[in-house]
Amino acid sequence: MDDRDGKIWKDGKLIDWRDANIHVLTHSLHYGMAVFEGVRAYKTEQGPAIFRLKEHTQRLLNSAKIFQMQVPYDLQTLIDAQIEVVRENKLESCYMRPLIWIGSEKLGIAAKGNTVHVAIAAWPWGAYLGEDGLAKGIRVKTSSFSRHHVNVSLVRAKASGYYINSILANQEALTDGYDEALLLDTDGYVSEGSGENVFIVKNGKIYTPDLASCLDGITRDAVLTMARDSGIEVIEKRITRDEVYCSDEAFFTGTAAEITPIRELDNRTIGEGKRGPITEKMQSMFFDVVAGKSDKYRHWLTVVGK
């Protein structure tokens, strides 16, 4: 990842990709307190367009606020910077990674007084869980690791250190031959994937866990909005893993994962073991929206321009 052409926005300037380095004594590298976003830009007839840029940037700043990180840039500056990164790298479609971290002035636990830095990189990234996964669904295993507890980690923040939990769960699932992990909360209810929110469909209604222990996903919100607007009832509630086994359909949502059907959980086939009709409807609405083919949700796109 570090050796390629292109530009990265770092602390207010576009610099060469290979020069976007940090010192080994960077506070965030040692203790994991950095916050980040995953954002996607899609190819449209008007050129690349970034999906829900303002919402992602606001969540980034909220994450920083939760950790009392004093970000030296405001919302509009960070929005403009992300547009600039897509444009300057001449990317038709891409994944974008804004990151805010604490500098290397001192390494005590107290981060106060250290500088706060921002970088934004962008690169092409295809289907996170594979094209096949998008079409046919993936095999998922309930993790032996619990998701964060609300009074251990503040889960409204998207923080780097939290992803140790995601990595443990994902590694376990992949080692055991599955495509992704499903994590339960500390009470044993379904929470989310290692980098995705989760949904089930039962008797024509869509269910997803409430936000107590999972990330407030922007794709999750898009699905809830599109489903409600299409007259599909959506219910946010506690869900048990056996409800997932007995659901008609299940799917993951996320910026990287987009809308990926789940065809199996813990070796139980879900529904007919393939992408179900409501999943397919949500997927096709979503891909129309991001391709700029939907007037109704055009306000979710920021066209980058040439």
Active-site hit among 7, 141, 158, 202: 158
Site residues for ligand PMP, 226-255, by CB under 6 A, read: 253-255
Query: How many Cβ atoms sit within 10 Å of the Cβ of residue 6?
Result: 17
Binding mask of the shown chain, residues 70 to 109, with x at each position contacting ligand PMP by CB under 6 A: ----------------------------------------
Rank residues 44 and 260 by Cβ distance to ligand PMP and give the closer one: 260
- Contact flag: residue 209 with ligand PMP (CB under 6 A): no
Pair of tokens at residue 81: 């910077």
Helices (H), 137-248: 163-175, 218-229, 241-245
Q: Which residues contact 224 (CB under 8 A, 6 or more apart)?
A: 206, 208, 234, 236
- Contact flag: residue 180 with ligand PMP (CB under 6 A): no
Stretch that binds ligand PMP, among 218-226, 232-240, 275-283, 285-293 (CB under 6 A): 218-226
- Angle formed at CA 218 by CA 80 and CA 61, multiple of 5 degrees: 45
Rank residues 104 and 300 by Cβ distance to ligand PMP and give the closer one: 300
Q: What pairs with residue 97 in β-bridges?
A: 121
CA distance between the termini of the chain: 26
- Contact flag: residue 192 with ligand PMP (CB under 6 A): yes
C-alpha dihedral, 212 to 159 to 199 to 54, nearest 10°: 100
Q: What three-state secondary structure class fits 183?
A: strand
- Angle formed at CA 130 by CA 266 and CA 145, multiple of 5 degrees: 35
Pair of tokens at residue 49: 């367009």
Binding mask of the shown chain, residues 21 to 60, with x at each position contacting ligand PMP by CB under 6 A: -----------------x----------------------
Stretch that binds ligand PMP, among 72-80, 94-102, 215-223, 296-304 (CB under 6 A): 215-223
Task: Assess whether 7 carries a catalytic annotation.
Answer: no
What single-letter amino acid sits at 230? S
Cα(80)–Cα(92) distance, rounded to whole angstroms?
Answer: 17
Rank residues 164 and 246 by Cβ distance to ligand PMP and give the closer one: 164
Q: Which of 60, 79, 206, 218 binds ligand PMP (CB under 6 A)?
A: 218
Q: Which of 48, 133, 137, 217 binds ligand PMP (CB under 6 A)?
A: 217
Residues with catalytic roles: 158
- Binding region for ligand PMP (CB under 6 A): 38, 166, 192, 195-197, 214-215, 217-220, 253-255
